[in-house]
Amino acid sequence: MDSMSLFLYLFLSVFTFFLLRATAAAHLRRRKTRLPPGTLGLPFIGETLQLISAYKTENPEPFIDDRVSKYGNIFTTHVFGEPTVFSADPETNRFILQNEGRLFESSYPGSIQNLLGRHSLLLMRGTLHKRMHSLTMSFANSSILKDHLLADIDRLVRLNLDSWTGRVFLMEEAKKITFNLTVKQLMSFDPCEWTENLMKEYMLVIEGFFTIPLPFFSSTYRKAIQARRKVAEALGLVVRERRKEREGGEKKNDMLEALFEGDGGVEGEGLSDEEIVDFMLALLVAGYETTSTIMTLAVKFLTETPHALSHLKEEHGEIMLRKGEVESLQWEDYKSMPFTQCVVTETLRIANIISGVFRRAMTDINIKGYTIPKGWKVFASFRAVHLDHEHFKDARSFDPWRWQGNAGSTSSANVFTPFGGGPRRCPGYELARVELSVFLHHLVTRFSWVPAEPDKLVFFPTTRMQKRYPIIIQRRSLFDPCKE
């Protein structure tokens, strides 16, 4: 970027900042309302740098803790170029999530919007969103999982684990597993060179999510746009081929087939190729990055909590003794993993892959004595609630036992929302749990492992292990829960 463009960019940013601030202040004076307490920080940058530097460490909590102790559970800040109301309050979060489409609408940064494509579920609104959300749910619900997806999950997890030797980057293997599973679920392809290449392009797309969406400003964003084009072309080709096959009477049992049968909001008209491609592209993003990170972090927390790992091994040892090594897992096996469910739930609570969601106020909104002005961003922070000692005893420790026999928290179910809530609640919540449970089953029954070198969990731009969590594995010939 040349210096003139940089100057113009900064000038416009600072100008917009002051304009927004003056408009909001005038608006509030007129209406005699009050903003939640807090500070907007420096012009344009606001408190973004403080937030980023906190989230690049292993302990980002002080960023929220300091502001909550100064201003309370709802405060005003200014991040990523916009004034934002930050909520660490479970009731307010619930109000925000439940009022999606009425008082608030989802709001993603420009980079993510451009890279996802306008027909992705995450960006859809209104009745079309409602219809497509339930179509997605119908492809990841318990009965589909039980009758159809569980067998694929079991097979593809085994296939991946079969190739492990010596030193393994767990984060990478987990990504391969979840990517291959999502591709299979979407369009019935087994892992091959094509899926491997597709995954490489996908990684570039995701890298571009947290950059400034100006191609001349960021080479990461430029590469992401190119990769997005390649992914869309590859998916477009599949869609066209499958349309031809359907004309010849051939049908498959996958998400793509459901999309061909869905309508695009206009009675009698199906979805166009472009709509289907955008939809699939976003589903792949939503499904694989999140679940693979949780897989990796579950293993990290278990490694650091040997008592929990032995409890888990016992549970899976019993299943293994019943079934042997070859027979694939059935729904009843999945349902007989109570401690595994505690481990998954606790990992979701403490890792907070999606630390919260951004929304935009569609009108002036009064809540808890404050006003959120129309057009402002709000951030409903799940992380702040999940790690609050008021809601979870010893909230910052990994303790899967807290979920045994009860809801795990000291108050209502509103305080545990790793999959969000309301009309945009994650349609993959059950699928993710099954994938995680099957993965843990095969991992602990086949291998023992130790970390290959120290690694660090960081939270910006996404939650990830800095060195992809390298481990040294040792294969067990026959499972023995007592053998280390």
Looking at the Cβ atoms of 373 and 418, the one nearer to ligand HEM is 418
Q: Using alpha carbons only, what angle is made at residue 426 by residues 422 and 428, rounded to the nearest 5 degrees?
A: 145
Rounded CA separation 97/239 (Å) = 34
Instruction: Report which residue's Cβ sits closest to ligand HEM.
Output: 428
Q: Applying CB under 6 A, which residues contact ligand HEM?
A: 106, 121-122, 133, 136, 140, 283, 286-287, 290-291, 294, 353-354, 357, 418-420, 424, 426-428, 431-432
- Contacts of residue 226, Cβ cutoff 8 Å, sequence gap at least 6: 204
DSSP 380: E
- Report CA 283 to chain centroid distance, whole Å: 11
Q: Which is nearer to ligand HEM, 361 or 432 (CB)?
A: 432
Minimum Å gap between C-beta 342 and ligand HEM is: 15
Alpha-carbon distance of 349 to 383, in angstroms, equals: 8
Distance of closest approach, residue 432 Cβ to ligand HEM, in angstroms: 4
Q: Smallest Cα–Cα separation from 296: which of 464, 128, 143?
A: 464
Which residue's CB is nearer to ligand HEM, number 230 or number 360? Answer: 360
How far is it, in rounded angstroms, from Cα 292 to Cα 290? 6
Cβ nearer to ligand HEM, comparing 290 with 409:
290
Phi (first) and psi of residue 474, to 5 degrees:
-130, 130
CB of 468 to ligand HEM, least distance (A): 18
Nearer to ligand HEM, 386 or 424 (CB): 424
Q: Taking the complex as a whole, how short is the minimal distance between the CB of residue 90 and ligand HEM, in angstroms?
A: 15
| Residue 426 assigned as binding residue | yes
Backbone angles phi, psi at 123, to 5 degrees: -105, -5
Query: C-beta of 325: minimal distance to ligand HEM in Å?
Result: 27
Q: Work out how close the CB of 397 gets to ligand HEM at its nearest, in angstroms, rounded to a whole number.
A: 20
CA distances from 396 to 28, 59, 292 (A): 38, 10, 22
**3-state secondary structure at position 18:** helix
- C-alpha 413/C-alpha 305 separation (Å) is 26
Annotated binding site for heme: 426
Residues in binding site = 426
